[in-house]
Homo-oligomer: A and B are copies of this chain.
Amino acid sequence: MAEKAQLELAVREQSERVRQMKDKNAPHDQISEELSKLMELKAQLETNDGKHQFILKTPKGTKDYNPKQMAIRAQAFNTIINCFKRHGAETIDTPVFELKETLMGKYGEDSKLIYDLKDQGGELLSLRYDLTVPFARYLAMNKITNIKRYHIAKVYRRDNPAMTRGRYREFYQCDFDIAGQHDAMIPDAECLKIVHEILSELQLGEFLIKVNDRRVLDGMFEVCGVPVDKFRTICSSVDKMDKMAWEEVKNEMVAEKGLAPETADKIGEYVQLNGRTELINKLVQDVKLSQNKMALEGLNDMKLLFEYLTLFGVEERILFDLSLARGLDYYTGAIYEAVLIQSQADMQTQQNENCEPVSVGSIAAGGRYDGLVGMFDPKGRKVPCVGLSFGIERIFSIMEQKMEAANQKIRTTETQVLVAAAQKKLLEPRMKLVAELWKSGIKAEIMYKKNPKLLNQLQYCEETGIPLVAIIGEQELKDGVVKLRVVSTREEIDVTRENLIEEIKKRTCQS
């Protein structure tokens, strides 16, 4: 009973919170997040009430895609897949779960976010956390040393979802990777070129691709005097520089992680730098950094990378940024991350239209991981790899919002023609005609009524965007014709049965 009283209180408080947010015209996404909390509380209360009520919902952090959302998602997938194919990639598929052991020791601290399956006897399994580790497992298992592949599939992370910003527990990754022993930075440059092409084609707005190199980071840590066992933890502090000011990051390094303030200051001098070839040249001359073999290797590769990016014509939106660190353990060389830039102009337009700007953070990322395949190979044989990954949910959030703002109509079917009856008792000829159209590859429907009204049939076309209606009436049957109606113009012409298929094809390849 105490628990019930607590729940009731929580429901009342949450209702009040939602009411106040609505009164204050709070952003729509914030209200809807609070609303879903309220619904969960109410459901808990009902369960607690004894009258166990079934909660009709998808699991936390997941969502259904309705037909309209699927149509938008398909557009994004198309752009991405076409680009991957344009660059000559094959595709593979792997199971949604892996042996738990396969995923162990690959993700550092993030391992706690892995979904495990219940032990129902047999192997211990986990849902995949990304597509990179299954890819490395696939290469080692099949002894593949050379492949360029893409893989588009769902991955799972027990993270705190922020669904209105496109952060889910189940989400698609679109990965492209090049595995094999190749000449330095040519595959790396192609990966960045691909990120650039896709972001340009998707037209999500201005973007910037930050690059860095793990060897430059580690070399920098070394010359600044960071103890080797603190490299990874200091690295993850650096990774926060896109969300926190340097002073805060420094404080974390010194107060929380026990770094000497002088060391942190030295790091600070480096990680606030960004630029292109001129910066790389400067750092190659840097008295301390140039003494470090690892850093110098990384810098020379960065220099080569920018040469290649210039040849590909994409260097303008790519920035060498010493604060980019990336979370994952397995990177060994170049790392990169693409972010969308909300220009001042964008913000104003959106506010004028009273529509919330979607803040999505990083939208694609990747890097070089030369050691991962070797972790799976019994003899530790290495296969150098470099790749990239797009998160479709964040892209989808932006595309959906843009389309809503532009009030764009989206068709969810591809039906070209509805076979309709002008009078009653014409189900038989309707069924025969629609079967004829299907046979010729025409996308056609009939309404599932014996005697539908013509008006309802025409209305169905208007609602679903079907461009043509093939109307059968008693007169048409006698004359051996079909009345073909163009929904948008209401134009009607009689077409003989022999010419019907061709006429429909002619009229729908234009529309």
Q: Which residues of A are in contact with B by a Cβ distance under 8 Å?
A: 53-60, 62-67, 70, 73, 85-99, 101, 115-120, 122-123, 125, 127, 137-138, 140-142, 147, 149, 154, 156, 158, 170, 178, 180, 182-183, 186-187, 189-190, 193, 197, 308, 311-313, 376, 378, 412-415, 427-428, 431-432, 435, 438, 441-446, 448-450
Residues of B within 8 A of A141 (CB): 56-58, 64
Q: How far is B193's CA from A125's CA once the two chains are assembled, in angstroms?
A: 40
Contact A137 B96 (CB under 8 A): no
With A66-B142, A149-B67 as given contacts, are A96 and B170 in contact (CB-CB < 8 Å)? yes
Q: Known interface pairs A101-B55, A448-B182. Does A64 touch B311 (Cβ–Cβ under 8 Å)?
A: no
Given contacts A86-B443, A432-B311, A435-B312, contact A58 B413 (CB under 8 A): no
B120 touches A117 (CB 8 A): no
Interfacial chain B residues near A115, Cβ < 8 Å:
117-118, 120
**How far in angstroms is the closest Cβ of chain B from A27?**
24
Q: How far is the CA of A187 from the CA of B447 in the complex (A)?
A: 9
Q: B438–A197 contact, CB under 8 A? A: yes
Complex contact A95–B431 (CB within 8 A): no
Question: B92–A66 contact, CB under 8 A?
Answer: yes
Asked if A59 contacts B435 (CB within 8 A), the reply is: no
| In the complex, residue of chain B having the shortest beta-carbon distance to the beta carbon of A377 | B56
Min CB distance A106 to B, Å, is 12
Cross-chain contact A95 with B138 (CB below 8 angstroms): no
Chain B residues whose CB sits within 8 angstroms of the CB of A117 once the complex forms = 115-118, 127
In the bound complex, CA of A450 to CA of B443 (Å): 50
**Cβ of A64 and Cβ of B89 under 8 Å apart?**
no
Q: Which of B57, B90, B431 contacts A99 (CB 8 A)?
A: B57
**Min distance, Cβ A153 to any Cβ of chain B, angstroms:** 9
Determine whether the beta carbon of B311 is less than 8 Å from that of A435.
yes
Given the contacts A96-B96, A115-B120, A311-B431, A449 and B182 also touching, CB distance less than 8 Å: yes
Q: Are A70 and B91 in contact (CB-based, < 8 A)?
A: yes
What would be 12 A-B contacts, judged by CB atoms less than 8 Å apart?
Answer: A58-B141, A64-B95, A64-B138, A70-B93, A73-B93, A85-B413, A91-B412, A116-B118, A182-B449, A187-B448, A308-B431, A312-B431
Contact A86 B444 (CB under 8 A): yes
CB-defined contacts of A190 to chain B, threshold 8 Å: 448
Are A85 and B149 interface neighbours, CB within 8 A?
no
> Once bound together, how far apart are the Cα atoms of A66 and B142, in whole Å?
10
A376 contact set on B, CB distance < 8 A: 54, 56
- B88 lies within 8 A of A70 (CB): no
Task: Assess A441 versus B60: contact at CB under 8 Å? Given A118-B116, A311-B435.
Answer: no
Is the pair A92, B70 in contact by a Cβ cutoff of 8 Å? Answer: yes
Q: Which of B60, B65, B118 contacts A119 (CB 8 A)?
A: B118
**CB-based contact B87/A438 at 8 Å:** yes
Given contacts A115-B117, A186-B448, 15 further A-B contacts (CB under 8 A): A54-B376, A58-B95, A62-B95, A64-B92, A70-B90, A86-B438, A88-B414, A88-B443, A91-B412, A117-B127, A118-B118, A183-B450, A186-B446, A311-B435, A312-B431
The answer to whether A60 touches B120 (Cβ under 8 A) is no
> Is B53 in contact with A99, judged by CB distance below 8 angstroms?
no
Contact call A123/B445, Cβ cutoff below 8 A? no
| Contact A56 B116, beta carbon cutoff 8 Å | no
Q: Which residues of B contact A187 (CB under 8 A)?
A: 448
- A116 nearest CB neighbor, chain B only: B118
Contacts of A86 in B (CB 8 A): 438, 441-444
CA separation between A244 and B85, bound complex, in Å? 49
Note all chain B residues with C-beta closer than 8 A to A70: 90-93
- Alpha-carbon distance A21/B162, docked complex (angstroms): 56
Judge whether A99 and B308 touch: CB under 8 Å.
no
A55→B99 contact, CB < 8 A: yes
| Closest chain B residue, CB of each to CB of A140 | B56
Cβ of B90 and Cβ of A67 under 8 Å apart? Answer: yes
Known: A140-B56, A444-B88. A64 touches B435 (CB 8 A): no
A70 to chain B, nearest CB (A): 5
Complex: chain B residue closest to A68, CB-CB: B90
Q: How far is the CB of A58 from chain B (nearest CB, A)?
A: 5
